[in-house]
Amino acid sequence: MLPKSFRGPVCCMAAGLLAGCAKPPLDQIEATKQQVRTSLEQSQAVLYAPEAVRALQDSLAVVDDLVARESQRLFFLRKYDSVLPRLANIDVALRGLAEAVQRGKESMRAEVTSRLDLAAAIADSAEAEFHNAPAGKDARAALALLHSELAAAHSEIDQARSSVQVDKVAQARDEAGSAQEHARRVLDDLRSAKAKVHVARNHASRSTRAQGTARAAAGRARARVSARVAHAAP
């Protein structure tokens, strides 16, 4: 039996060893992970609050890393007392996830509205270009094709607006981007086609003037020859 003078220090050492041998709160960790998975599936946070999602995933990774590092230490040195506070912080972040999703959705809604306004403005510019487009036979088929493409761009704009109205904001963002690119492509193609027709017509006009000049010069030359022949006749 230990002398009384040693009993106190020995008991303290034993208590310290037992405290150091604490097990990781695996049940609480798994419960928190399941709660995170459920929240992400139900909240659309991946679409509208990706930064909050990354923060949650990073926090869980820190917990896993902490548990892994502590498990590699000597059993009487292991400490998991910092795990539960970290899990509590994750729980607080989860309670604020819905608000983060709403903020992200409203920000994206504003972005979509801006894209749709720009797409509509580009489509209107294309419509205006059609009013003074060349009406020649060669251009008619190309213009008809471009006009059908512009109609498709208008349909995409309307579809994106409908998606916004039914709260499919992320889908509307993709649709708005596609509509904007479509309208821009039609406008650029229309202007390019008009420029080509303009160049071709200028070339034809210069060619016609050159031919007329040549005919006139030939006529003057014939007249001079005829005059000299007439002058030389007895």
pLDDT at 223: 63
Q: ∠ CA(206), CA(208), CA(210), 5° rounding?
A: 70
pLDDT digits (tens, 9 = 90+) for 46-105: 999 999 999 999 999 999 999 999 999 988 899 999 999 999 999 999 999 999 999 999
Residue 113 and residue 68 share a domain: no
pLDDT digits (tens, 9 = 90+) for 106-149: 999 999 999 999 999 999 999 998 887 766 666 678 888 888 99
Residue 119 and residue 200 share a domain: yes
The token duo for 6 is: 């040693």
What mean pLDDT comes out for the span 18-33? 82
Of 67, 95, 123, the domain-final residue: 95
Of 66, 95, 124, the domain-final residue: 95
Residue 143 and residue 30 share a domain: no
Residue 117 and residue 79 share a domain: no
Helices within the chain (DSSP H only): 4-20, 26-43, 45-48, 50-71, 83-95, 97-131, 137-165, 169-232
Residue 161 and residue 55 share a domain: no
pLDDT at 10: 43
Which residues constitute the domain of residue 83? 17-95
Cα pseudo-dihedral 177, 181, 184, 186, rounded to 10? -130
Residue 164 and residue 75 share a domain: no
Residue 128 and residue 76 share a domain: no
Residue 70 and residue 41 share a domain: yes
Kindly state whether residue 146 falls inside one of the protein's structural domains: yes
Residue 88 and residue 130 share a domain: no
- The DSSP string of 107-160 is HHHHHHHHHHHHHHHHHHHHHHHHHTS---HHHHHHHHHHHHHHHHHHHHHHHH
- pTM comes to 0.64
Neighbours of 113 (CB within 10 A): 16
Kindly state whether residue 29 falls inside one of the protein's structural domains: yes
How many separate domains does the chain show? 2
pLDDT at 2: 47
Kindly state whether residue 71 falls inside one of the protein's structural domains: yes
Kindly state whether residue 2 falls inside one of the protein's structural domains: no
Half-sphere exposure of 77 (CA within 13 A, CB side): 6
